[in-house]
């Protein structure tokens, strides 16, 4: 992981995994040198995967950490109270949340799973209340079809409901 990152100091790298429990054990010896240019994230599509969040943020206390809640195919309630019980503020542990519905086809091997508007709205609201930048990537094929959107994956932000036209980035990049 770190060799290319170390050789390209002009770039910022995003590392996204479904196995965040493996990140800490695989950080290079020179992590301190590159940590400000690496964003570590985990992907979850439903609340069944919420343990990944703890695996990401608990062992690694520095650097940008983000959640990719896509393809969203089930409701996710971020466990804000559990982090408070651990003595942390959620916004101090997660720097960014990306959310989006699943893209795919009506038939064949790559069918999409439905995403509900309320699931996206709930995540955006939780992030806004907790001052966590949130990026609504796309509404997904299911909602695109329901709303008769021009982009079949629901990725045209101009067609999102106004309250979901949110594309924020981690605070280090702003300004």
Q: What is the 3-state secondary structure (H, E, C) of 99-160?
A: EEECCCECCCCCECCCCCHHHHHHHHHHHHHCCCCEEEEECHHHHHHHHCCCCCCCCCHHHC
Sheet with strand 96-101: strands edge to edge: 13-17, 38-43, 64-72, 96-101, 134-138
pLDDT number for residue 64: 87
pLDDT in tens, 66-120: 999 999 999 988 876 666 566 666 667 788 999 999 999 988 888 999 999 999 9
Q: How far apart are CA 25 and CA 20, in angstroms?
A: 10
Tell me if 41 sits within 8 A of 69, measured CB to CB. Answer: no
Query: What pLDDT, on a 0 to 100 scale, did the predictor assign at position 131?
Result: 85
For the segment 31-39, the average pLDDT, to the nearest whole number, is 89
Count the helices and strands in the chain (H runs, E runs): 7, 5
Q: What 8-state DSSP symbol labels residue 33?
A: H
pLDDT cut 70: percent of the chain above it: 86
Dist CA 132 CA 142 (whole Å): 26
Q: In the prediction, which pLDDT does 174 show?
A: 41
Q: What is the largest CA-CA distance in the chain?
A: 51
* Dihedral sign computed on CA atoms, order 103, 107, 111, 113: positive
* Dist. CA 155–CA 101, nearest whole Å: 9
pLDDT band at residue 144 under the 50/70/90 scheme: very high
Contacts (Cβ under 8 Å, ≥6 apart) of 172 = 64, 95
């Amino acid at each position: 992981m770190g060799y290319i990152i170390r050789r390209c100091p002009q770039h910022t790298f995003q590392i996204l995994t479904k196995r965040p429990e493996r990140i800490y054990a695989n950080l290079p010896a020179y992590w301190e040198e590159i940590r400000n240019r690496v964003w570590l994230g985990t992907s979850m599509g439903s609340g069944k995967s919420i343990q990944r969040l703890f695996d990401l943020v608990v062992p690694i206390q520095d650097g940008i950490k983000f959640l990719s809640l896509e393809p969203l195919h089930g409701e996710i309630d971020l466990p804000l109270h559990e982090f408070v019980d651990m003595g942390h503020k959620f916004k101090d542990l997660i720097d960014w949340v990306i959310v989006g519905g699943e893209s795919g086809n009506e038939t064949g091997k790559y069918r999409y799973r439905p995403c509900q508007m309320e699931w996206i709205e709930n995540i955006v609201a939780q992030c806004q209340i907790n001052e966590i930048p949130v990026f609504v990537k796309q509404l997904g094929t299911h909602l695109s079809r329901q709303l008769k959107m021009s982009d079949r994956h629901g990725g045209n932000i101009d067609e999102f409901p106004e309250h979901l036209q949110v594309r924020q980035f981690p605070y280090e990049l702003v300004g």
